[in-house]
């Protein structure tokens, strides 16, 4: 029994070794192995998708990088386009912001009120122009109020005013200055006349009188002859220092008269003061008689300055007749 007991004990011990305690020890020992294997399988099962996902992640990473670079390039292009378009948009925005509300309202077109206002303004402008033109041209608002005569010495001012015949109140713009000047020029002593408007209401008549260069005696009458050969006035007393034009036919269109007065106006004043008589039977036979009865054969009315220069020293010689008709060959006779 003891053996049996021992055997039984061994058996029990064996069973104990193989039994539940032993199995419990194996289970306790194998539990980590199973848990490790289970964890490894779980880890492998988890890592397998990650390993499988790694190529996809790499591919997607490369694709994402390419997409990122493409997006960056597109963004840069878009930015450049926006930079090019920005000034125009900014300027348009600025102009739009700066436009006043009234200007924006006018863009919609003129309203009826503005249209009528413009029509009335145009009508008033036309009426104003017509009224001003009427007042200026047909009333005495800007009419003649005074007439001044300038430059007269021998002519009476009343004669000039009477000849001009400018009525007071005549509109200045309608005054015919040329016609008034022509009427004044009809006076015998008037050589030249100019009629000018002095705004707003004054008319000036500037007269240049004729200047006599010689006289012509007809009985007791003394006729004044000017530089054109015109017999323009009669006086009782001959002006001092003027020579006598001893000719019967004295008129501006007579060539002999024209030659005689041309010589008188061309010779020096010192010589002219010594001349008492001028004759000219022909245009080429002008003769001057001095106060001491010496006679100068002048010839025609050409080369007057040269003839005067030759005559000056020639008069220092004794004689009665001095011929300078040909200044290259002057002669003294008598």
% the chain with pLDDT above 70 = 72
The pLDDT score that the predictor gives to residue 80 is 79
**Contact between 325 and 298 (Cβ < 8 Å):** yes
Q: Which residues contact 271 (CB under 8 A, 6 or more apart)?
A: 308, 311, 312
pLDDT range class, residue 78, cuts 50, 70, 90:
confident
Domain ranges of the chain: 146-209, 212-333
Task: Indicate the class that CATH gives domain 212-333.
Answer: alpha beta
Average pLDDT of the chain is: 79
The CATH architecture to which 146-209 belongs is: Roll (3.10)
DSSP string, 100-121: -HHHHHHTT---HHHHHHHHHH
Q: Give the global pTM.
A: 0.58
Q: What is the pLDDT of residues 94-144, one digit of tens each?
A: 444 555 555 454 454 568 888 888 889 998 888 888 888 877 777 777 889
**Using CA atoms, how far apart are residues 287 and 308, in angstroms rounded to an integer?**
13
pLDDT range class, residue 16, cuts 50, 70, 90:
very low
Of 66 and 217, the structure prediction assigns the larger pLDDT to 217
- Please list the residues that pair with 289 across neighbouring strands: 277, 295
Check pLDDT > 70 for residue 33: no
**Using CA atoms, how far apart are residues 151 and 264, in angstroms rounded to an integer?**
25
pLDDT range class, residue 8, cuts 50, 70, 90:
very low
């Amino acid at each position: 029994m003891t053996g049996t007991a021992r055997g039984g004990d061994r058996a029990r011990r064996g069973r104990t070794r193989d039994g539940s305690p032993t199995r419990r020890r194996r289970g306790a020992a194998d539990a980590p192995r199973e848990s490790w294997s289970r964890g490894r399988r779980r880890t492998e099962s988890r890592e397998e998708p990650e390993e499988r996902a790694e190529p996809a992640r790499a591919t997607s990473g490369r694709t994402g990088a390419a997409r990122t670079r493409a997006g960056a390039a597109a963004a840069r292009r878009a930015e450049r386009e926006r930079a090019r378009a920005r000034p125009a948009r900014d300027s348009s925005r600025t102009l739009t912001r700066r436009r006043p509300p009234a200007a924006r309202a006018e863009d919609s077109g003129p309203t009826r009120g503005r249209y009528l206002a413009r029509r009335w303004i145009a009508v008033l402008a036309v009426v104003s122009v017509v009224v001003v033109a009427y007042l200026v041209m047909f009333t005495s608002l800007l009419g003649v109020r005074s007439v001044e005569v300038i430059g007269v010495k021998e002519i009476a001012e009343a004669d000039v005013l009477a000849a001009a015949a400018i009525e007071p109140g005549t509109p200045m713009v309608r005054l015919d200055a040329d016609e008034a000047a022509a009427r004044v020029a009809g006076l015998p002593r008037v050589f030249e006349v100019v009629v000018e408007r002095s705004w707003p209401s004054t008319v000036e008549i500037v007269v240049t009188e004729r200047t006599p260069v010689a006289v012509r005696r007809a009985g007791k009458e003394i006729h004044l002859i000017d530089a054109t050969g015109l017999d323009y006035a009669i006086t009782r007393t001959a002006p001092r220092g003027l020579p006598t034009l001893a000719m019967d036919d004295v008129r501006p269109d007579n060539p002999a008269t024209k030659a005689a007065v041309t010589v008188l106006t061309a010779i020096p004043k010192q010589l002219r003061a010594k001349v008492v008589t001028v004759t000219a039977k022909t245009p080429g036979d002008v003769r001057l008689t001095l106060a001491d009865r010496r006679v100068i054969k002048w010839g025609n009315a050409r080369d007057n300055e040269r003839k005067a220069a030759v005559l000056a020293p020639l008069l220092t010689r004794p004689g009665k007749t001095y011929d300078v008709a040909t200044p290259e060959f002057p002669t003294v006779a008598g």
